[in-house]
Copies of this chain bind each other. A is one copy, B any other.
Amino acid sequence: MVGGVTMETAAPRRRTRIQQEKRELILEAALEVFSANGFRGSTIDQIAEAAGMSKPNLLYYFRRKEDIHTTLMQRLLDTWLAPLRELDDIGDPLTELRSYIRRKLEMARDYPRESRLFANEILQGAPRIMPLIEGELKSLVEEKVEVIKGWMRAGKIAETDPWHLIFSIWATTQHYADFDVQVRAVLGTDRGGEGRFEDAARFLEHLYLQGLRVRQG
């Protein structure tokens, strides 16, 4: 087959319709299983069952368990960093930051599995996505740190550490996905319903808007 007229350009083979569909099915199932049990805590059998297929069948689409995980992580990082990418120079700084916080909190509410998958990976020392952290993520943060520094220099928001500002927004918002069971258990049945995200949004908005407001005098 080497040198054949219809030969594909090296590695990334074109996929058939079935392959595309089944791979999506597997990734969805794997997200469910991995986020609940971690990488080592999840078995191929669990993922295969969640995807409604046999283990050898699953291994026909992903040759190794790790391949599923890395594919998942690569996709994840893109959507996960989207809110930060939108943080832009135009518009009022406090409004921009408030929008960013709200978007991050909405992601924690609507995509908790993605958040937990990511948290699991970082907790284990990020053995499989360290390059992405040191590359894509780091440079994006550096870019946005400059934006925030600009706001501070212009006297639009209080002078604080932009890096730790970003960290604290990550921490406070993702907390509601990663530590969800604890949050719900502590709040109890009455306060722990769906309204908890509204309460959290209100609190965080207050904390950050007043905390970053420029102090007069």
Give me the interface of A with B, judged by CB distance under 8 Å.
36-41, 116, 119-120, 122-126, 130, 133-134, 137-138, 141, 158, 160-161, 163-165, 167-168, 170-172, 174-176, 178-179, 181-183, 185-188, 191, 199-200, 202-204, 206-208, 210-213, 215
Interface of chain A: mostly helix, strand, loop or mixed: helix
A38 touches B36 (CB 8 A): no
Known pairs A161-B202, A185-B133, A203-B164; A123 contacts B123 (CB<8 A): yes
Nearest B residue (CB) for A141: B186
B210 touches A165 (CB 8 A): no
Kindly list chain B residues whose C-beta atoms are within 8 Å of the C-beta of A191. 163
| A66-B202 Cα distance, complex, nearest whole Å | 40
A-B contact pairs, 16 of them (CB 8 A): A38-B124, A40-B40, A41-B124, A120-B123, A123-B179, A126-B185, A161-B202, A163-B186, A163-B187, A164-B199, A167-B186, A168-B207, A170-B179, A171-B171, A171-B172, A171-B174
